[in-house]
């Protein structure tokens, strides 16, 4: 199975910056490690441009959020149908920044996941604990709650279109990635939980301060199916370095 290297650009890049990223990225990567699947998540306003830039390549494009209704009086929201309509194939749901700044609960995330899957979007579902939770030895309990509620009602068939990203909140944007051994423990816990409770499996990514110099630690772990990269995916050069390092 191909490992996934995904880029979450968060609220970064205008259309012209998106164009220039792909221009540089193509130069970096005549190579593109055939061994991995690359997925890029631009902001909504750059998705159409990114899809166009990636025509006739294997790079996939996704959105960073979607709403759980199809249409109607929901000012400012974007539906899963609309995201499919512009050619994106993936959506990130449950990111800790959406949970924190936009008050997304497990229940809201669960509704969004169902809606995205109904509209043939593949979902990268994010989970992860705060530093406080880790300090108190409650990581597994925390992750279990997020998965149990977030993925409630999904069928075995649905799991083919779910990727889980383990992103410890305290490792996001801090330059302090978790050590590989601790990440491995959580990933193994998630695998077992999915097998025991959903009779299913899913690819599991690691995210949080991934850079080219720590890629190998994570990619070397058998149960880690790839990486979700934030800051280091914004420059074509550093994102390409991560892809090379993971190959
Ligand atoms: P950083 O790689 O900037 O820590 O962000 C990780 C992340 O939140 C990806 O979704």
pLDDT digits (tens, 9 = 90+) for 179-229: 999 999 999 999 999 999 999 999 999 999 999 999 999 999 999 999 999
Q: Which fold has domain 3-246?
A: TIM Barrel (3.20.20)
d(CA 179, CA 166): 13
**Cα–Cα separations (whole angstroms), residue 194 to 51, 128, 202:** 32, 16, 8
Residues of the chain whose pLDDT is less than 70? 29-34
Atom of ligand 1 nearest to the CA of 10: 10
How close is the Cα of 83 to the center of ligand 1, in Å? 22
How close is the Cα of 174 to the center of ligand 1, in Å? 9
Phi first, then psi, for residue 82 (nearest 5°) are -65, -35
Which pLDDT value is given to residue 34?
A: 63
Atom of ligand 1 nearest to the CA of 173: 4
Atom of ligand 1 nearest to the CA of 207: 6
Which pLDDT value is given to residue 97?
A: 98
Which pLDDT value is given to residue 29?
A: 61
How close is the Cα of 175 to the center of ligand 1, in Å? 10
Which pLDDT value is given to residue 30?
A: 54
Which pLDDT value is given to residue 1?
A: 79
For ligand 1, atom 2, name the residue with the nearest CA: 230
Q: Catalytic residue numbers?
A: 95, 167
d(CA 62, CA 78): 13
Which pLDDT value is given to residue 31?
A: 53
Q: Which of 172, 211, 214, 218 to mutate to test the pocket of ligand 1 (most atoms within 8 A of CB)?
A: 172
Give residues (CB < 6 A) around ligand 1: 8, 95, 167, 172-173, 207-210, 228-232
- The count of other CB atoms within 10 Å of the CB of residue 225 is 22
Pairing assessment for the beta strands 3-8 and 36-41 based on DSSP bridges = parallel
């Amino acid at each position: 199975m191909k490992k996934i290297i995904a880029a979450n650009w968060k609220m970064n890049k205008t259309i012209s910056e998106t164009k220039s990223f792909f221009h540089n990225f193509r130069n970096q990567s005549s190579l593109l490690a055939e061994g991995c699947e690359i997925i890029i998540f631009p902001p909504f306003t750059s998705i159409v441009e990114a899809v166009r830039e990636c025509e006739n390549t294997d790079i996939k494009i996704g959105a960073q959020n979607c709403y759980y209704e199809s249409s109607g009086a929901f000012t400012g929201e974007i539906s899963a149908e609309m995201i499919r309509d512009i050619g994106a194939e993936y959506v990130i749901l449950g990111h800790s920044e959406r949970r924190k700044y936009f008050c997304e609960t497990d229940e809201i995330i669960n509704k969004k996941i169902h809606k995205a899957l109904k509209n043939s979007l593949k979902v990268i579902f994010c989970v992860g604990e705060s530093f406080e939770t880790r300090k108190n030895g409650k990581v597994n309990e925390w992750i279990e709650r997020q998965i149990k509620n977030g993925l409630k009602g999904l069928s075995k068939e649905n799991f083919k279109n779910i990727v889980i990203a383990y992103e410890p909140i305290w490792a996001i944007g801090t330059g302090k990635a978790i050590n590989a051994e601790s990440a491995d423990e959580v990933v193994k816990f998630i695998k077992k939980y999915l097998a025991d409770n959903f009779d299913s499996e899913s690819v599991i990514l690691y995210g949080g301060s991934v850079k080219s110099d720590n890629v190998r630690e994570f990619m070397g772990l058998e149960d880690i199916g790839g990486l979700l990269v934030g800051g280091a995916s914004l420059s074509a050069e550093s994102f390409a370095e991560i892809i090379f390092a993971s190959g």
